[in-house]
Amino acid sequence: MQTALDLIRAEIAAHPSNAWARDLGYEPLYAAAPGARVALVGQAPGRKAQESGVPWNDASGVRLRGWLGVDDATFYDPDRIAILPMDFYYPGKGVSGDLPPRKDFADLWHRRILAELPHVRLMVLVGGYAQKYYLGVRARPTLTETVRAWAEYLPDAIPLVHPSPLNFRWQARNPWFEDEVVPALRSRVAQALAADARA
């Protein structure tokens, strides 16, 4: 028997705006199940993730799992962590990196998916697109300022810089991130996931 989440996934794959992705053999790349306690919202799948069908299966994902304090099994269990990028398809290559997620994509699908995840206790917002969308006017003018103000968004959300190894200069300039944000993130994620035992 198909669940509401199954039907939503089928709608996403069949939507006219995603015909180009179907032609390339791409499936919508996200993970969600009713028991999820953490929702991880990023930008969009990279080419490697899209082609493999496994989100965050690169060096960025390794670092992200380290920041979250979870192993692969926990990270890829949709009944624990929902992975909802701002676009579920690889957007293609631009002049200076991957293209941004489509502006209207999250409006079409995120709210409906999250409505089927009643136990989410924490949203982890990775990067500026997710932060601007979910924090709205509460987001600061720059990503660095938003992440620096991480405590203001608790207990519902916590903003992160992208875990790409290419961000090593940002991390070197902002040691407070590893000192303050990462420990708080691990603690909040652990608390949200531990809630499984009390549900």
| pLDDT tens by residue, 116-165 | 999 999 999 999 999 999 999 999 999 999 999 999 999 999 999 999 98
| pLDDT tens by residue, 8-45 | 999 999 999 999 999 999 999 999 999 999 999 999 99
User: What's the domain count of the chain?
Assistant: 1
User: Does residue 198 form part of some domain?
Assistant: no
CATH code for position 154:
3.40.470.10
User: Does residue 7 form part of some domain?
Assistant: no
Range of the domain at 168: 28-193
User: Does residue 50 form part of some domain?
Assistant: yes
User: Does residue 20 form part of some domain?
Assistant: no
Rounded to two decimals, the pTM is 0.95
User: Does residue 61 form part of some domain?
Assistant: yes
What is the pairing mode between strands 93-94 and 122-126? unpaired
User: Does residue 11 form part of some domain?
Assistant: no
Residue 2 CA from chain centroid, whole number: 25
User: Does residue 165 form part of some domain?
Assistant: yes
User: Does residue 69 form part of some domain?
Assistant: yes
